[in-house]
């Protein structure tokens, strides 16, 4: 089976060779990064319908981590601001995303969600958020982001750095399907194409393991299922880790 998987994956790699060449000469990313926020603004509507219950249950816990001056949230990989709707009244949000083309969509989401105050948009990657002071944030949020980052462990280290002691990291992330099933097989076969059309997204990451190894004093993590993206995504981890 490993050989079949290797052969099929190689076929996919050959099929996406034109995109690989565009990427190599530096033309793919600038184009796709302009287009992707438009994709996400449409996908968000479906995502929030499908994941709405999970998001509501999770984000209902956010006020437990407010400090005396209120609740400060840092959303890493904020995209279009899909989570604003679920945030508690009066919270102050700082958003980080490496793709500046999301900012317009984010401002729109801020306008539509009067209960949230968007303080700043920082164009940066989660691996290096030096613009955010250490120990300054009550809650960090990532939803469907760690699949796309280059180095999960570095992002988690940065998240722990910016959190105040007792602050929490809230996450909803899709993860690789169980090893023995067909879905896992197809996730590995299609990954060479998926990374281009999913803006760097990986279908094959086991992010739960990274979270378990990260230095949270307490980790509440559960596995759940929801079919997304042409059924290529099925398994998710949901929860929060306390610094
Ligand atoms: C699938 S979108 C999810 C957006 C949003 N969190 C949501 O739930 O709708 C992935 C997001 O992660 C961002 N991203 C990609 N690489 C990143 C990195 N290294 N650090 C932070 N964000 C990143 C992308 O620009 C994009 O906004």
Going residue by residue through the chain, which has 243 residues, state the pLDDT in tens, using 9 for 90 and above: 899 999 999 999 999 999 999 999 999 999 999 999 999 999 999 999 999 999 999 999 999 999 999 999 999 999 999 999 999 999 999 999 999 999 999 999 999 999 999 999 999 999 999 999 999 999 999 999 999 999 999 999 999 999 999 999 999 999 999 999 999 999 999 999 999 999 999 999 999 999 999 999 999 999 999 999 999 999 999 999 999
The rounded Å distance from CA 44 to ligand 1 centre is 12
Q: Looking at domain 2-242, what is its CATH homologous superfamily?
A: Vaccinia Virus protein VP39 (3.40.50.150)
* CA separation for the pair 163, 156 (Å, rounded): 11
* CA separation for the pair 141, 76 (Å, rounded): 6
* CA separation for the pair 28, 197 (Å, rounded): 10
* CA separation for the pair 1, 193 (Å, rounded): 20
Task: Write the burial class of residue 240 (CB in 10 Å: 0-12 exposed, 13-18 middle, 19+ buried).
Answer: buried
Which pLDDT score is estimated for 145? Answer: 98
Q: Whose CA is nearest to atom 25 of ligand 1?
A: 99
- Residue recorded with tokens 């076969």: 189
Task: Break the chain into its structural domains and give their ranges.
Answer: 2-242
- DSSP-H helix ranges across 94-143: 103-112
The rounded Å distance from CA 171 to ligand 1 centre is 12
The rounded Å distance from CA 144 to ligand 1 centre is 7
Q: Whose CA is nearest to atom 13 of ligand 1?
A: 77
Which pLDDT score is estimated for 65? Answer: 98
Which pLDDT score is estimated for 31? Answer: 94
Which pLDDT score is estimated for 209? Answer: 97
Instruction: Please state whether the predicted TM-score (pTM) of the whole model is above 0.85.
Output: yes
Nearest to 113 by CA among 166, 73, 153: 73
Residue 234's CB: how many other CB atoms inside 10 A?
A: 21
Which pLDDT score is estimated for 213? Answer: 97
Q: What atom of ligand 1 comes closest to residue 78's alpha carbon?
A: 6
Which pLDDT score is estimated for 1? Answer: 84
The rounded Å distance from CA 78 to ligand 1 centre is 6
């Amino acid at each position: 089976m490993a050989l079949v998987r290797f052969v099929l994956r190689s076929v996919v790699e050959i099929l996406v060779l034109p995109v690989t060449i565009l990427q190599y000469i530096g033309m793919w990313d600038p184009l796709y990064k302009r287009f992707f926020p438009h994709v996400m603004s449409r996908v968000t509507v479906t995502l929030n319908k499908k994941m709405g219950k999970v998001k509501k249950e999770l984000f209902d816990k956010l006020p437990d981590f407010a400090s005396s001056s209120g609740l400060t949230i840092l959303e890493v990989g904020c995209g279009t601001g899909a989570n604003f709707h679920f945030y508690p009244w009066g919270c102050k949000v700082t958003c980080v995303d490496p793709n500046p083309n999301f900012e317009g969509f984010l401002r729109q989401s801020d306008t539509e969600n009067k209960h949230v105050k968007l303080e700043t948009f920082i164009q940066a990657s989660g691996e290096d958020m030096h613009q955010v002071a250490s120990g300054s944030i009550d809650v960090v949020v990532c939803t469907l982001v760690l699949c796309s980052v280059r180095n999960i462990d570095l992002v988690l280290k940065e998240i722990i750095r910016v959190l105040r002691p007792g602050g929490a990291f809230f996450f909803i992330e899709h993860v690789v399907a169980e090893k023995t099933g067909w879905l896992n097989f197809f996730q590995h076969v299609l990954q060479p194409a998926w990374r281009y059309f999913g803006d760097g997204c990986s279908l094959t990451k086991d992010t739960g393991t990274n979270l378990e190894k990260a230095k949270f004093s307490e980790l509440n993590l559960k596995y759940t299922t929801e079919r997304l993206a042409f059924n290529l995504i099925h398994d998710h981890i949901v929860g929060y880790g306390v610094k």
